[in-house]
Amino acid sequence: MTGSADSPSFTLAYVPGVMPAKWVWIWNERRPDVPLTLLQVTAAEAADVLREGRADAGLVRLPVDRTVFSAIPLYTETTVVVVPKDHVVTAADEVTLDELADEVVFHPLDDVLGWEQPPGEPGFERPATTQDAVELVAAGVGLLYVPQSLARLHHRKDLTYRPVTDAPQSSVALSWPEDATTDLVEDFIGIVRGRTVNSTRGRRPQPEAGKAESTASRRAGGKGGARKTGGKTATGRGGGKATGRTGGAKGRGGAPRSGGAAKSGGAHRTGRPKRRP
């Protein structure tokens, strides 16, 4: 982890377009003892940041080097074309690559869609960044293909976008160095996978000492406290069993025991029987 043993912390890198807020909120709720720091990096920088230990994990764009990094795919984005608001493309709800084949298309150096050259007429230059390419689109000299989240990130009032149904897509994943799967990384994996705090697949919080002792005491005393006296149960659940049998049970010498119920009118016989005259 990026913190120390005495003061642990968790650093999460993320690339442009990814919105980590919902996962950060859950982390802060479950692990208030471990501060989470966000580190924004470019898609090209993400691998080096993780490899060098500057972040514990990252929300990155696939592909990643699977010989070095573990990765959990999270979602795949729709690819859109960014155009001026008055462009003819805006008349349709979605478009295909063939419909844009005659358009000038910019291919920024930080492109995340993975193609060698987007379909269409190449722009007069390769912009250094997606932001630079957006500026050129706003100038009316070409179009740009990007994941939808990047189109939203670089939104301008004079631009809009439309989904491209057959363009390559970009997938976002949680990634971390394969040899650095710490407990805190496991905690964050559980969050992005949607596990509950007590999920059997996640790390369970240790029970508090007081609660554990209370549970043990309840289990020890929850069996009714039965004790055996003279071979018979003296007490049990709900007050226990009375000693001796009712309804004419005989004691020693054949005489009914004191307290035993007689069958004649419900009266108890006591003392010796009367002599006949």
pLDDT tens digits along 76-124: 999 999 999 999 999 999 999 999 999 999 999 999 999 999 999 999 9
For residues 22 and 131, membership in a common domain is answered with no
Question: 30-86 pLDDT, tens per residue?
Answer: 999 999 999 999 999 999 999 999 999 999 999 999 999 999 999 999 999 999 999
Structure tokens at 270: 């006591």
Q: What is the pLDDT of residue 2?
A: 64
Percentages (nearest 5) of helix, strand, coil residues in the chain: 25, 25, 55
For residues 64 and 103, membership in a common domain is answered with no
The residue that leads in pLDDT, 5 or 21, is 21
Question: 123-136 pLDDT, tens per residue?
Answer: 999 999 999 999 99
| 162 in any annotated domain | yes
Question: 177-233 pLDDT, tens per residue?
Answer: 999 999 999 999 999 999 987 764 545 444 444 444 545 555 555 554 444 444 444
Question: What's the domain range around 145?
Answer: 79-168
Domain of 70, CATH number, reads: 3.40.190.10
> pLDDT at residue 244 above 70?
no
- How far is the C-alpha of 110 from the C-alpha of 130, rounded, in Å? 7
Q: What is the pLDDT of residue 221?
A: 53
Structural domain ending residue among the three candidates 168, 202, 218? 168
For residues 83 and 129, membership in a common domain is answered with yes
For residues 124 and 159, membership in a common domain is answered with yes
Q: Exposure of 158 by Cβ count < 10 A (0-12 exposed, 13-18 middle, 19+ buried)?
A: exposed
| 201 in any annotated domain | no
| 255 in any annotated domain | no
For residues 160 and 38, membership in a common domain is answered with no
The residue that leads in pLDDT, 223 or 154, is 154
- How far is the C-alpha of 3 from the C-alpha of 23, rounded, in Å? 20
For residues 49 and 110, membership in a common domain is answered with no
For residues 86 and 149, membership in a common domain is answered with yes
The pairing of beta strand 79-84 with beta strand 10-14:
unpaired
Task: Yes or no: say if 146 and 82 are a contact pair by the CB < 8 Å rule.
Answer: yes
For residues 66 and 146, membership in a common domain is answered with no
The beta strands (E) that lie in the chain are given as 10-14, 36-40, 57-61, 69-77, 79-84, 104-106, 121-122, 143-147, 159-163, 170-177, 227-229, 232-235
Question: Domain tally for the chain?
Answer: 2
Region 142-167 average pLDDT: 97
- How far is the C-alpha of 58 from the C-alpha of 12, rounded, in Å? 5
For residues 163 and 83, membership in a common domain is answered with yes
CB under 8 Å to 76, separation ≥6 — which residues? 169, 170, 171, 172
Side chain identity, residue 223: K
